[in-house]
Homo-oligomer: A and B are copies of this chain.
């Protein structure tokens, strides 16, 4: 078809020397994995406000500057929550000797002690139906998470369960960990207190302990003692790290690739989101080391406070508001470092056809471009400005095995898959920064049922 020919010339693919540099560099230099190892081994946990978070900011600035990017810190005030000592037990009662519980406070929970009978609920809807029977009790949210896909549907129990229980006069909340594997491992995550409800202590229990509570409740009343030493300190000074490779022709047009630098405190955050940090830093390094920079500016952003407040994502959108119309695409790598499975785009009509030829260098990895959800928590605040969103999708089968638990550590990362993800991010980012025209911008997204706009998203 002759009509197709001009299109082929318009959408000139990435020059072979560039794709070899990007993919070959990601797969052979070993830099992404070495950086992830540095970040997790020498810094470790990076919860907002902690010494680790500040060390991570310094580390990233230095590394990005070494790579030749113009890197700076952009200030962000962040919640400063600390965990403290925590413990819980099923108390002895007639016929029951008692059990220690494997639990961990939910992020942003108030601390406190509670000793009370347990009442079980299977959903937010069900807790409301408990009515006065929840008064003075510890509400135990149980559920049937079986697969990664269940997370989005069930996470509302963690986010909003404590407020729902508090409205009924409950004294504390336990929630079954949102997890697809467990060796008695509690998985934390942010909870959000509604302004109109009391604040009660809330903790995740391991799936094994949830099963035990459920079985014991079939026998009769169960009393639990809970002690959470966590507390919220005054907001702390922190920062996003922002680093540019200045575009050679249209420097005011920005392709933003990002990840979040903060992690939960229980582990070193290798998958969540050290891996994403390593990927986008690597894409930045490889693009900065090309003989000729791409047409547009490539911007690497390492957000602070994705896990328990999104202060970094909100601060970026606010302080760069005037430039968002020139943000031509945004990517967040925050799905772990397992095998990349697709590249997803959310843009206006025709976007996929425009971008697809440019990611041909990823075909060997089985990666193709598809329309779909492509957002990320930190780049969510860019959606109202209709910034096209792109994502390298990864195999999520085992993501929730370790997510937000003490087991999110470097040994869970496959260096080869991490390298392939970094290569994919580099190619996609280069394509977006180099293609002659910018992508059509998507329509503004309607608020989702499961995540009302009035509530902060849960991660």
Contacts and interface: CB of A to CB of B under 8 A. Distances in A.
Interface in A398-426: 401-402, 405-407, 409-411
Contacts of A402: 183
Per assembly, the copies of the chain total 2
Interface in A23-72: 37, 41-45, 51-52, 55
Contacts of A44: 97-99
Interface of A: 37, 41-45, 51-52, 55, 95-99, 102, 181-185, 207-208, 211-212, 215-216, 219, 267-268, 401-402, 405-407, 409-411
A274 to B, nearest CB: 14
21 contacts: A37-B215, A41-B215, A41-B219, A42-B97, A43-B97, A44-B98, A44-B99, A99-B268, A102-B406, A183-B183, A183-B185, A183-B401, A183-B402, A183-B406, A183-B407, A184-B185, A184-B405, A184-B409, A211-B409, A212-B410, A215-B410
A47 to B, nearest CB: 12
Contacts of A211: 409-411
Given A43-B97, A183-B183, A407 B208 contact: yes
Contacts of A98: 44
A43 B37 CA distance: 43
A65 B97 CA distance: 22
A98 B185 CA distance: 22
Given A185-B184, A185-B185, A406-B183, A216 B41 contact: yes
A185 B273 CA distance: 22
B184 A406 contact: yes
Contacts of A42: 95-97, 219
A211 B52 CA distance: 20
A201 to B, nearest CB: 21
